[in-house]
Amino acid sequence: MNVITSEELMAMAEEKKFLAIREKLSQSNPIDIAQLFEEIPPERVAPLFRLLPKELASEVFVEMDPELQQKLIMCFSDFELHVLVDELYVDDTVDIIEEMPANVVKRILASADPAMRKDINEILKYPGDSAGSIMTTEYVTLKENMTVGEAFDRIRQVGPDSETIYTCYVTSRDRRLLGVVTVKELLLADKEMSVGDLMTENVIFAYTDEDREETANRIRDYGLMALPVTDRERRLVGIVTVDDALNVITEESEEDFSKMAGVTPTETPYIKTSVWTLWKARVPWLLLLMISATFTGAIISGFEHKLAACAVLIGFIPMLMDTGGNSGSQSSVSVIRALSLGDISIKNFFKVLFKEFRVGLLCGLTLAACNLLKMLLVDRLLFGGRDVSVHVMLTVSMTLCFTVIVAKMVGSMLPLLAKAMKLDPAVMAAPVISTLVDAISLLIYFGLASLLVLPQFS
Amino acid sequence: MNVITSEELMAMAEEKKFLAIREKLSQSNPIDIAQLFEEIPPERVAPLFRLLPKELASEVFVEMDPELQQKLIMCFSDFELHVLVDELYVDDTVDIIEEMPANVVKRILASADPAMRKDINEILKYPGDSAGSIMTTEYVTLKENMTVGEAFDRIRQVGPDSETIYTCYVTSRDRRLLGVVTVKELLLADKEMSVGDLMTENVIFAYTDEDREETANRIRDYGLMALPVTDRERRLVGIVTVDDALNVITEESEEDFSKMAGVTPTETPYIKTSVWTLWKARVPWLLLLMISATFTGAIISGFEHKLAACAVLIGFIPMLMDTGGNSGSQSSVSVIRALSLGDISIKNFFKVLFKEFRVGLLCGLTLAACNLLKMLLVDRLLFGGRDVSVHVMLTVSMTLCFTVIVAKMVGSMLPLLAKAMKLDPAVMAAPVISTLVDAISLLIYFGLASLLVLPQFS
């Protein structure tokens, strides 16, 4: 949907067709322009950026990579930076500041006017995972006794600097949130009606110190365009808009994907992430898991000589370990996502555990029965494996059943325990569960084998 | 944020305080009321539902579980159903219809007026994963030559039946999409200006037959409130609103979570899903993986007697298989998510493969070095394992390095190949990759062992 390619842009710049460039870019979407600028050499961006009308310039700036933003700020005069910052929304400015080195942050803050600087510092005070950190302070407030006509005057006045005008917040004199009214309601109402009559008093809101993921989930669950954020005294201090909620939800679920796969989350898209960064994000977990697999190895080593005596048992180890691992991760991923989406909480601990026990029992029995059949038909009849005695078949099948039950309970319990200890449940997915389940399944296997199979060899 | 609990509601109904109930519920949010109704016995919902004002009733109805919706429809007279359906948005009606049995669908369609019935049938024609299937047909269209004042008149007229009024679509006489204009722009503009002067002509849009996930990603990436959907002739046929995009993004990523964990996606939240449904969603994958682990078992069995002769090799099998599996899933999850988010496409095949090769090489070398050190210090010196010869140490470390490289390449390649074959990349995550990587790592291990370790035993 871009009206111009980066090659065309470069060629036009070469020929100094600046008016034509301004014309072309003014028709483009800010996100597409930011994309174009990413594709041309950074030292050539500044002159092109200066061609943009100031409102568009600020919209484009917000969408660029932090690296390019920083390079541009370096090129800007103090006056240019002031003009840019003046056009930015407070929450976007905060997002930019959080990615910049200290000297750049100082210049940005110095360029902001005092009121904006105060708002920026206010938002920066909130922890990064709180509702306060993702809110913006630019919104429309109305008073209860205003008429619809007066409300529109106010909207026209503060509208240009507000991130959304479509939901307006009705506040008391001491900034307490009394209700919300939408522009749709105002537009469809009689001009003489009062805002107080039109507003909805039962407002869905969030506290500044609430978790940002919960805040974003609330926006999704209630299908809102924006959610007001208040302090503990119910004084309105900001709003979170649906586009920011969408980004939070995407970021949080990508973080969960990474953690479950044993990767430290990175903020850059995969294709832009360097090989070194990928290595740094992945290798610690691989090392940790490799070291933890030493325990499993130690269990096998302790049983090594008995296994050597009854070699048929060795071949079933991978299947038992894999099935245990898979059963565990099925449960842990279900529980981790249910926690993330707010479907369950730590209060449901025993309900979840009992559910997983029953699912585990059903799955375990099914697998054990199928395995018994498979061993009988394939290992015994088809391959004529004489070593695969009835005792071996029973040992493997029983281990399978117990392992699945234990794996499902461990897999569901650990994320809940992590949540209860205020840790991130997703971290529990890969490393701890697989090691624990592997070890348990081997202990069950060797225990049963010692009882059922090995006596026949001595 | 509920103004009443389900117990209080039941008690009030018992005492026939219907006016008070209507009062209380009218102050509540529709989503909270739907939640309340889920908590009381279904046969007692209908009389309470009838107390709601008709607009609120339709908002509540949309938020209820399909089961409860169906039970309520059974209780409704034809007239009641007509009143309800009349208040519903077309896209919500389609969502409801998709969950209902044929006889209920017939009743709903019969209750809709002819224009709405036509729109419903239109949307139902699009495949479930297309942009067309998630759009709504209720939006505001303007003409180019309208003044701002006339535009507001039109908005006031069609507004009550439109899902969003904040983005208005400017169309030609033959319904071609010419531009968009927001209510914010209209409100801040002079009353005498024309819509044509104010509108943005470079519209971000989707085609009806585009993938719904791509459509939703576009709404997120461009930070839109609504996205117009056109046919291939650029004629406007519907819009997708941001709240629907949010639901699509959540649904699609939850589906990926499920598939990666080897679980068939279910639509109900975890806590509401029955043990039987969970069993049905999980057991087929466990069975498939168990059967596929037979191959790994067969590889080990083929090597069984040599392993029995050199038992020290057995203890390292779990560590090698685990590390291979983890390395593979790190890559596959990265690639699957990058595909979902639209960061990469099949065009990047070789770029991704080369990147994963380099990351694999780095990770493999790191792990091999650490493993060598660990075997030297722990297995040899600490535990005095005399069996752990230099040849064993080399075999294990070299296998580790090769396995990691192969796992990363297989893990990144298979989701891309699946995408190229129009299959779901996420399905490739668990079953195929782990089986393949397990088998390859064992073959490398036994191959190297045959060369380096076993000759010393004969």
**Does residue B427 register a pLDDT over 80?**
no
Cα–Cα distance measured from residue A182 to residue B147, given in angstroms and rounded to the nearest whole number: 23
Closest by alpha carbon to B272, among A341, A391, A433? Answer: A341
CA distance B203 to B167: 12
Chain B neighbors of A434, CB-CB under 8 A: 322
Residue B360 has pLDDT above 90, yes or no: yes
What does the block give as tokens for B17? 């305080």
| B112 compared with B458, residue with greater pLDDT | B112
In B, residues 213-252, which contact A (CB 8 Å cutoff)?
219-225, 242-243, 245-247, 249-250
Taking a C-beta distance cutoff of 8 angstroms, is the pair B430, B285 a contact? Answer: yes
Residue entry with tokens 């660029």: A64
- pLDDT band of A343, cuts 50, 70, 90: confident
* Tens digits of residue pLDDT in B144-153: 999 999 999 9
Whether B344 sits inside 8 A of A270 (CB atoms) is yes
| Alpha-helix residue ranges (DSSP H) falling in B310-348 | 317-340
Mutation target among B2, B165, B184, B312 for the A interface, most CBs of A within 10 A: B184
Greatest mean pLDDT among A40-49, A202-211, B335-344: A202-211
Pick the more confident residue, B388 or B445.
B445
What span, in angstroms and rounded, lies between the C-alpha atoms of A421 and B436? 37
CATH architecture for segment(s) A141-260 = Roll (3.10)
pLDDT in tens, B156-177: 888 888 888 899 999 999 999 9
Residue of B nearest to A29 (CA): B202
Average pLDDT over residues B303-309: 78
Q: pLDDT at position A457, please?
A: 62
- Res A1 pLDDT > 70: no
Q: Residue A385's pLDDT is what?
A: 67
Contact A392, A292 (CB under 8 A): no
Question: Closest to B308 (Cβ–Cβ): which among A246, A308, A404?
Answer: A308
Q: How does pLDDT run across B9-39, given as a tens digit for each residue? A: 888 888 888 888 888 888 888 888 998 898 8
- Residue B52 and residue B25 in contact, taking contact as beta carbons nearer than 8 Å: yes
Contact between B198 and B181 under an 8 Å Cβ cutoff? The reply is yes
- pLDDT at residue B145 in the model: 92
Task: Give B453 or A431, the one with higher predicted confidence.
Answer: B453
**Among A59-68, A304-313, B445-454, which is the least confidently predicted range?**
A304-313
Residues 6 or more apart in contact with residue B383 via CB below 8 angstroms: none
**Interface predicted TM-score (ipTM) over 0.85:** no
Q: CA-nearest residue of chain B to A317?
A: B297
Q: Do B73 and B96 form a contact (C-beta atoms < 8 A)?
A: no
- H-type alpha helices, A125-241: 131-134, 148-158, 183-188, 195-198, 212-221
- Tell me the shortest Cα–Cα distance from A434 to chain B, in angstroms: 9
A286 and B404 in contact (C-beta within 8 Å)?
yes
Q: Are strands A141-142 and A167-171 parallel, antiparallel or unpaired?
A: parallel
Beta carbons within 10 angstroms of residue B190's beta carbon? 10
Say if A326 is an interface residue toward chain B (CB within 8 Å): yes
3-state DSSP assignment of residue B165: coil
Q: Each residue of A198-208: b (16+ CB within 10 Å) or e?
A: bbeeebbbbbb
**The CA-based dihedral angle spanning residues B411, B415, B421, B424, taken in that order and rounded to the nearest 10 degrees:** 140
Cα(B399)–Cα(B395) distance, integer angstroms: 6
Superfamily of domain B141-242: CBS-domain (3.10.580.10)
- Asked if the C-beta of B326 comes within 8 angstroms of chain A's C-beta atoms, the answer is yes
Task: Tell me the pLDDT tens digit for each residue of A166-206.
Answer: 999 999 999 999 999 999 999 988 888 999 999 998 899 99
Per-residue confidence (pLDDT) for residue A18, from 0 to 100: 87
Where are the domains positioned within chain B? 6-125, 141-242, 271-457
Q: Does A253 touch chain B (CB under 8 A)?
A: yes
Q: Dihedral through CA B153, CA B159, CA B161, CA B162, nearest 10? A: 130
- The whole-angstrom distance between A1's CA and the closest CA on chain B is 7
The bridge status of strand A177-182 relative to strand A167-171 is antiparallel
Q: Please say if the pLDDT value at position A69 is more than 60.
A: yes
**Which of A187-196, A353-362, B381-390 is predicted with the least confidence, judged by mean pLDDT?**
B381-390
Residue A317 has pLDDT above 90, yes or no: no
Contacts of A188 in chain B (CB under 8 A): 156, 159-160
Q: Could you tell me if B317 lies within 8 Å of chain A, comparing CB atoms? A: yes
Q: Are the CB atoms for B331 and A257 separated by under 8 Å? A: no
Q: What pLDDT score was predicted for residue B445? A: 92
Query: Where do runs of H (alpha helix) occur along A113-172?
Result: 114-124, 131-134, 148-158
C-beta pairs of B207-210 under 8 Å, 24+ apart in sequence? B207/B131, B207/B231, B207/B232, B208/B126, B208/B130, B208/B131, B208/B132, B208/B135, B208/B237, B208/B238, B209/B126, B209/B127, B209/B130, B209/B131, B209/B132, B210/B130, B210/B131
CA A405, A407, A410 angle in degrees (round to 5)? 110
**Gap between the Cα atoms of B212 and B245, Å rounded:** 8
Q: Do B261 and A329 touch (CB under 8 A)?
A: yes
Percentage of chain B with pLDDT > 70?
97
CB contact under 8 A, B271 and A338: yes
Q: B428 pLDDT exceeds 70? A: no
Alpha helices in A227-274 (DSSP H): 242-260
CB B327 within 8 A of CB B404: yes
Average pLDDT over all residues of chain B? 88
Window B:10-29, CB contacts with A under 8 Å? 27-29
Q: Does the CB of A439 have a partner CB in chain B at under 8 Å?
A: no
Q: How far is CA A191 from CA A146, B163, B341, in A?
A: 10, 23, 45
Mean pLDDT of B199-214: 92
What are the φ/ψ torsions at residue B320 (nearest 5 degrees)? -65, -45
- Rounded Cα–Cα distance for residues A267 and A277 (Å): 11
Q: Which of A457 and A190 is assigned the larger pLDDT?
A: A190
Q: Nearest by CB to B326, which of A289, A309, A317?
A: A289
Helix (H, G, I), strand (E, B) or coil at B211: strand
Q: What is the pLDDT of residue B404?
A: 95
pLDDT of residue A430: 64
Q: Which of A230, A259, A279 would best serve as a mutation to test chain B binding (most B beta carbons within 10 A)?
A: A279
By the CB < 8 Å criterion, does B136 face chain A? Answer: no
C-alpha distances (whole Å) from B419 to each of A22, A272, B319, B344 are 39, 20, 31, 11
Burial class (CB within 10 angstroms; exposed 0-12, middle 13-18, buried 19+) of A159: middle
CA A169 to chain centre: 29
Q: How many CB pairs below 8 A link A and B?
A: 339
What are φ and ψ of residue A194, in 5° steps? Answer: -100, 150
C-alpha A419/C-alpha A412 separation (Å) is: 12
Residue A91 has a pLDDT of 85
Token pair 């939408």 is at which residue? A182
Chain B: give the shortest CA distance to residue A119, in Å.
Answer: 23
Q: Report the pLDDT averaged over residues A424-432.
A: 70
- What number of other Cβ atoms are within 10 A of residue A117's Cβ? 17
Give residues 364 to 383 of B whose Cβ lies within 8 Å of A: 366-367, 370-371, 374, 378
Task: Give which of B61, B39, B41, B35 is closest to B50, Cα–Cα.
Answer: B61
Question: What CATH architecture applies to the domain B6-125?
Answer: Alpha Horseshoe (1.25)
Query: Could you tell me the strand order of the sheet in which A206-207 lies?
Result: A206-207, A226-230, A236-241
Between residues 140 and 159 of chain B, which touch chain A (CB distance below 8 Å)? 152, 155-156, 159
Q: What fold characterizes domain B271-457?
A: Tetracycline Repressor; domain 2 (1.10.357)
Q: Tell me the pLDDT tens digit for each residue of B60-111.
A: 999 998 889 998 898 888 888 898 888 888 888 888 888 888 888 888 888 8
A402-423 residue pLDDT tens: 999 999 999 999 999 988 888 8
Residue of B286, B346, B358, B409 to mutate, interface with A, max A Cβ within 10 Å: B286
Residue bearing tokens 């690639």: B335
Window 68-127 of A: residues touching B by CB (8 A cutoff) are none
Q: Do B184 and A159 touch (CB under 8 A)?
A: yes
Encode burial over B200-213: b for 16+ CB neighbours within 10 A, e otherwise: eeebbbbbbebbbb
The residue whose two tokens read 């709504």 is B136
Residue B389: exposure state from Cβ atoms within 10 A (0-12, 13-18, ≥19): middle
Q: How far is CA A341 from CA A344, B136, B175, B304, in A?
A: 8, 26, 40, 47
Q: Quick check: A184 and B263 CB within 8 A?
A: no
Contacts of A23 in chain B (CB under 8 A): none
